[in-house]
Amino acid sequence: MRTYELIKRKRDGIELSRDDIGYMINGFVNGDIPDYQMAAFLMAIYFRGMSPRECIDLTMAMLQSGVKVDLSGIRGFKVDKHSTGGVGDTTTLVLAPLVAASGGIVAKMTGRELGHTGGTVDKLLSIPGMNVDMPEERFVQIVNHVHVGLIAQTATLAHADKQLYALRNATATIDSIPLIASSIMSKKLAGGSDGIVLDIKTGVGAFTQQYEDALKLARTMVDIGEGAGKKVVGLITGMEQPLGKAIGNAIEVQEAIDTLNGKGPADLVDLVAELGANMLLISGVVSSRDEGINLIKHNIETKRGLEKLGELIEAQGGDREVIENPGLLPQPRVKIEVESAGSGYVEKINALDVGVASKILGAGVKTKDDPIDRSTGIYLNKKVGDAVEKGESIAVLYSDGDKGRINTARTRLLNAYTLGPAQLDEPRLFYARISREGVEELK
Ligand code: URA
Ligand code: CA
């Protein structure tokens, strides 16, 4: 009876108590509350939303449903970063070693792909020998030694989230701010870091396409994290076009290595510098954002970040040689140039379509048990603002040679590009910085 009553209360817009929310989450995880009742409850949340207090209580109930990672054996302030997901978002591979090389400590649990977005775990696994599953004690040792470690998030971490996400995915309740915020923050809090920088994407390639929604999501997540005693900063950043030029797995590792060699695409470098500066700031390593940005850029120039990536790869069992010789990464069977059908300037590149095209080529999981081909992906020769001649190559498909998939991906990719007569500015990358002090507009 209580389950029915609580669904009805939520449906009618009545605020639930901490006890009510705990009852629903625990009941669902224990199997006492069936999927159909939980689905109705989620839909009620979708339409009615949740108060800030309810969001915190939901997150805490989800957090308590699973194991937590004990990072207390790591010395110093541990900082994490989370992105709400984008296309070709190579950030973690560049950012984590740079922050460590700049004096921060990064113990990061990282996810697998979600929808059209890629997962850092799959990118890491394209490095020969790289291990992303290890006992907690080993992870603690690595981070104490190298100051950075990247491991796969396990299903037992915030256990409720895995089950809830699957149910949301089947019931059109993914895009609800309280549900996204509690899903992400329950996992981040379970991950055990002292500080978290959130990269909340807005634009066509993002979960929250509208700026207003991204802002609401950012505020909700900052409130949850600060409420749990962590230092949290949220940055709202643009995902109008894919980040950088590479989309895939091995190809993004290559892009990360290039970037740490000082040859990275400007948007990726700028995003890494801004995120890194905020991570160093909340860690107490620098005293201003500008100082942090300069330090990160300095450690790209001096190759200290690249050196750190090599140390990280070696510590986690991978072949460190890849940073000198990226040819050791999985290579595609064929590379196919995609030629432009017209001339003009690139006005838009729909990030969502590029993400889907990359998945079509094989860079994503097709069925649950199908292994991923980590060599496939897309390299964009042209980005917004670039001039294009008819017949010129706008992108390269990295493929296993399957003709059907190549043709479907080519069509999807060509459709992702919009050409126009006038040269536009690059799309905006930074929108706002949200902390417990409030919202600051970024230029
Ligand atoms: N990412 C998550 O981890 N959870 C969501 O609900 C949405 C994005
Ligand atoms: Ca990229």
Instruction: Report the alpha-carbon distance of residue 165 to residue 402 in Å, rounded.
Output: 32
Mean pLDDT of the chain: 93
- Which pLDDT belongs to residue 156? 80
- Which pLDDT belongs to residue 332? 96
**Structural tokens at position 269:** 């470098």
Q: Whose CA is nearest to atom 7 of ligand 1?
A: 180
Q: Whose CA is nearest to atom 2 of ligand 1?
A: 184
Confidence of residue 87 (pLDDT cuts 50, 70, 90): confident
Q: Whose CA is nearest to atom 6 of ligand 1?
A: 180
Is the predicted pLDDT of residue 330 greater than 70, yes or no?
A: yes
> Three-class SS of residue 20?
helix
**pLDDT tens-digit profile of 273-300?**
999 999 999 999 999 999 999 999 999 9
Q: Is 157 in the pocket of ligand 1 (CB under 6 A)?
A: no
Using alpha carbons only, give the angle 6, 22, 151 rounded to the nearest 5 degrees: 130
Ligand 1 atom closest to Cα of 165? 6
Is the predicted pLDDT of residue 371 greater than 80, yes or no?
A: no
**pLDDT tens-digit profile of 7-46?**
999 999 999 999 999 999 999 999 999 999 999 999 999 9
- Among 385, 431, 378, smallest CA distance to 200 is for 431
CA of 212 to the centre of ligand 2 (A): 26
What is the length of the chain? 443
**Structural tokens at position 196:** 């978290």
- Proportion of the chain above pLDDT 90, given as a percent: 85
Ligand 1 atom closest to Cα of 184? 3
CA of 176 to the centre of ligand 1 (A): 10
CA of 288 to the centre of ligand 1 (A): 30
- Which pLDDT belongs to residue 369? 55
- Among 67, 51, 92, smallest CA distance to 181 is for 51
Is the predicted pLDDT of residue 240 greater than 70, yes or no?
A: yes
Q: Is 130 in the pocket of ligand 1 (CB under 6 A)?
A: no
Instruction: Report the alpha-carbon distance of residue 300 to residue 326 in Å, rounded.
Output: 18
Burial class (CB within 10 angstroms; exposed 0-12, middle 13-18, buried 19+) of 64 = middle
> Three-class SS of residue 137?
helix
